């Protein structure tokens, strides 16, 4: 479902060049929950942002759902991005919009008619446990509830893939567990493929099927999660 071929990213040039991501191959099959773990500065954010081309790779090819994103025109890329949802550490909600209006936003931008937006948003609020939060503003919500809104918004365009950039790093352990349960649920119910980056072992242990370790911009090890954590 996600394939990176020889994808690298260098920031700056010459003596100032930072090789944030060295040429990397990655394959995440459909329906998988794949984690990439590493320390701060290892290149995790760069890697995940290359998947939907939020960051344009310096080299290599990116495929999502059989389509090469790195070969698309800007308009075609915008369309293709509907199939790739993303959530972030700090939620990135719009403070002036209600929960409903935050989740509706991507659909408005896609030109979905108002009535259809209403029909599509309500089930997403139910799925993410926000049924009664419809008219609240982000400032009235807990961190976990804000991340639920961000998840509902990411699902609005019916993506095939969900990218999670340190999605639980701003949350306490109990809230983290409930968000991870929700992600598992979504993976199971919707068959959504999930790629997540984290610096937390517990996150990987509790939901990932497979995990890669990134260090110094290189994916240095990859294994099924049971093997990854088995003591020698």
Where do contacts with ligand ADP occur on this chain (CB under 6 A)? Answer: 1, 3, 5, 11, 18, 20, 29-30, 38, 40-46, 63, 65-66
In the bound state with ligand ADP, the residue whose beta carbon lies nearer, of 40 and 75, is 40
- Residue 94 or residue 201: which is nearer to ligand ADP going by CB? 201
Q: Which is nearer to ligand ADP, 58 or 122 (CB)?
A: 58
Q: Hey, what are 186's tokens? A: 């979504």
From 80, 75, 118, select the one nearest 100 (Cα to Cα): 118
Nearest 10 degrees: CA dihedral of 87, 93, 97, 98? 60
Nearest distance in Å: CB 65, ligand ADP: 5
- Could you give phi then psi for residue 215, rounded to 5 degrees? -150, 130
Q: Is 35 helix (H, G, I), strand (E, B) or coil?
A: strand
d(CA 120, CA 205): 33
Question: What H or E segment, with its residue span, contains residue 13?
Answer: none
Evaluate whether 166 touches 150 at the Cβ level (below 8 Å): no
Least distance to ligand ADP, CB of residue 76, Å? 16
Minimum distance, C-beta of residue 136 to ligand ADP, in the bound complex (Å)? 31
* CA–CA separation, 167 and 62 (whole Å): 22
Closest distance of CB 224 from ligand ADP, Å:
16
Tokens of 108: 């408005």
| 3 versus 145: smaller Cβ distance to ligand ADP | 3
Residue 162: both structure tokens together:
């969900």
Inter-CA distances, 69 with 15, 42, 128, Å: 30, 24, 29
Residue 35 or 138: the one with the smaller Cβ distance to ligand ADP is: 35
CB of 125 to ligand ADP, least distance (A): 29
For residues 102 and 168, which CB has a smaller minimum distance to ligand ADP in the complex? 168
CB of 201 to ligand ADP, least distance (A): 15
């Amino acid at each position: 479902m996600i394939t990176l071929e020889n994808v690298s990213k260098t920031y700056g040039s010459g003596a100032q060049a930072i090789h944030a991501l060295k040429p990397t191959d990655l394959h995440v099959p459909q329906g998988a929950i794949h984690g990439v773990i590493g320390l701060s500065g290892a290149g995790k954010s760069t890697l995940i942002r290359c998947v939907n081309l939020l960051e344009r790779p310096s080299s290599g090819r990116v495929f999502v759902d059989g389509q090469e994103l790195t070969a698309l025109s800007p308009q075609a890329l915008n369309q293709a991005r509907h199939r790739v949802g993303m959530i972030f550490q700090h939620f990135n909600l719009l403070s002036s919009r209600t929960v409903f209006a935050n989740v509706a936003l991507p659909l408005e931008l896609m030109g979905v008619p108002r009535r259809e937006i209403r029909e599509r948003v309500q089930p997403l609020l139910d799925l993410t446990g926000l049924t009664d939060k419809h008219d609240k503003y982000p400032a009235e919500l807990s961190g976990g509830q804000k991340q639920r809104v961000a998840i509902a918004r990411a699902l609005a365009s019916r993506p095939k893939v969900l990218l999670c950039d340190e999605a639980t790093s701003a949350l306490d352990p109990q809230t983290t567990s409930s968000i991870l349960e929700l992600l598992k649920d979504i993976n199971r119910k919707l068959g959504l493929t999930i790629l997540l980056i984290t610096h937390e072992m517990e996150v990987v242990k509790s939901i990932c099927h497979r995990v890669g370790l990134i260090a110094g911009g290189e994916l240095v090890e990859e294994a099924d999660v049971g093997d990854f954590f088995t003591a020698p």
